[in-house]
A = this chain, B = another copy of it.
């Protein structure tokens, strides 16, 4: 997971906007969108470098995610990858799950369930509830580690925050 993205010219971006149909507005839950806090004012279609910049992943990783079937990405006339808002949101969502240590295999499984439609909601619910429990366990572990760390800091003469 990188943080240093590569900027691309606004020219290429504008080229896409000019050249292609604007797709219908994404059917994205606005509340979820807010949780994912994508920057606003994003162009309709982004190059892989821009998508990397926005998501904080590398272009390599984005290609890798596509290769293993985690995401699908459209192409432009030059067969270059072209990321729309929905793709971006999905990637950020995936990134959140990854940052909470959900294995890629589980994320894949979850996304398959989503693809299978509404009747898999119970399974998805169960999966997410289990993941929440995992996160909460992890939070407790981190608190315990923070306690020893803070203890060490205070005994070394540092000043631990409350």
Contact = CB atoms under 8 A, between A and B. Distances in A.
Interface string A133-162: 001101101111111111111011110100
B151 A146 contact: no
The residue among A138, A150, A157 with the most chain B CB atoms within 10 A of its own CB is A138
A146 B136 contact: yes
B100 A151 contact: no
B151 A32 contact: yes
A124 interface: yes
A96 B145 contact: yes
B100 A129 contact: no
A147 B100 contact: no
Contact of A125 (B93, B141, B157): B157
